[in-house]
Chains A and B, each alone.
Chain A
């Protein structure tokens, strides 16, 4: 009994510790999720579509594209290729999380399933206090994000164009969050080789390939840069 209540207490503490980190994501996901639900609604889909899709795909940018896919002619091969291209960046997240998800038991499956940009960014960068269970912390970050996205998309799908809110520009909350996480990472390092490579390569590829197709070239170039300059990067000592 005592053991059980102790366990419950530690789970509760992890949830309470995780929640503040997800507040910006709540704002961003409700806004984007509702926009997505409304978009599906006015495209002629029942709210069941955004509800189920937000639950089982849980990947914002792909879900917007999926609306267009559902409205065009049936093209399964193209759908799969598009999906893999849009989502390829998750491969990088997985490689970065190999160590941290070790020994998480059944939670690991859900952590990987729910590893969107935002969950990854928080789970990778958050300074989790010593006395908080890391597995449960990451579990709750992922779960909260998942719930925000799911409820936002469903509400948007139900209300449709009935809602009109002057929240223009609220989506910037996601950009602001990534800027903060980037800075936190930056302030932790002595040299900034890989951070600069990430910004520089992405910006160059964006100019060269355009907004719709720059991510794959960016990923390939980042891999090349990190491989070619492995020695100086490891020497810089930021990588332990």
Chain B
């Protein structure tokens, strides 16, 4: 690829990304209220989005091979329990992450020859 072609490729990544971020705001301008259906979606979507993002983060976990997703499952349980007990965002996130790092780093030492 020449430099110009590289610049065009990067530019297209920017344009594509900004199109998906700006489009709803351009289509439903703030001058008049959005249709009822869109307003409904705006309120109903977020819980579904957060569920989707959790799955998106875990998309490369293989249940049938490797560690079978057990470190992920254990760490998520730690996050959930910590959060139910203390309800402090940073504590829950740090606890789960440290648990996961320990499992992964100690685990590979155990299982790999």
A6 at the interface (CB under 8 A from B): no
Determine the chain B residues whose CB is within 8 A of the CB of A176 once the complex forms. 75-76, 79, 92-93, 96-97, 100
A220 at the interface (CB under 8 A from B): no
| Cross-chain contact of A103 among B8, B30, B34, B46 (Cβ < 8 A) | B30
Q: A96 CA to B42 CA in the complex, in Å?
A: 4
Interface residues of A (CB under 8 A from B): 20-21, 23-24, 27, 52-53, 56-59, 62-63, 66, 69-70, 73-74, 76, 79-80, 83-84, 87-99, 101-103, 108, 112-113, 115, 117, 121, 124-125, 166-170, 172-186, 189, 192, 194-203, 206, 211, 214-215, 218-219, 222-223, 226-227, 230, 233-234, 238-240
Q: Which 4 A-B pairs have the closest CB atoms?
A: A198-B51, A83-B16, A94-B24, A198-B48
Point out which of A80, A169, A215 has the most chain B C-beta atoms below 10 A from its C-beta: A169
Are A170 and B97 in touch, CB under 8 angstroms?
yes
In this complex, what residue of A is CB-closest to B21?
A90
Are A90 and B20 in touch, CB under 8 angstroms?
yes
Chain B interface SS verdict (over half): helix
Enumerate 14 A-B pairs (CB-CB under 8 Å) in ascending A order: A58-B17, A66-B10, A73-B1, A83-B13, A83-B16, A91-B24, A96-B43, A168-B101, A176-B96, A178-B50, A183-B80, A196-B51, A198-B52, A226-B48
Determine the chain B residues whose CB is within 8 A of the CB of A182 once the complex forms. 47, 50-51, 53-54
Chain A interface SS verdict (over half): helix
CB distance from B100 to the nearest CB of A (A): 4
| Cross-chain contact of B16 among A87, A96, A108, A117 (Cβ < 8 A) | A87
Interface residues of B (CB under 8 A from A): 1-2, 5-6, 8-10, 12-25, 28, 30, 34, 37-60, 71-72, 75-76, 79-80, 83-84, 89-90, 92-94, 96-97, 100-101, 103-105, 108
Are A202 and B79 in touch, CB under 8 angstroms?
no
Determine the chain A residues whose CB is within 8 A of the CB of B103 once the complex forms. 169
Are A202 and B51 in touch, CB under 8 angstroms?
yes
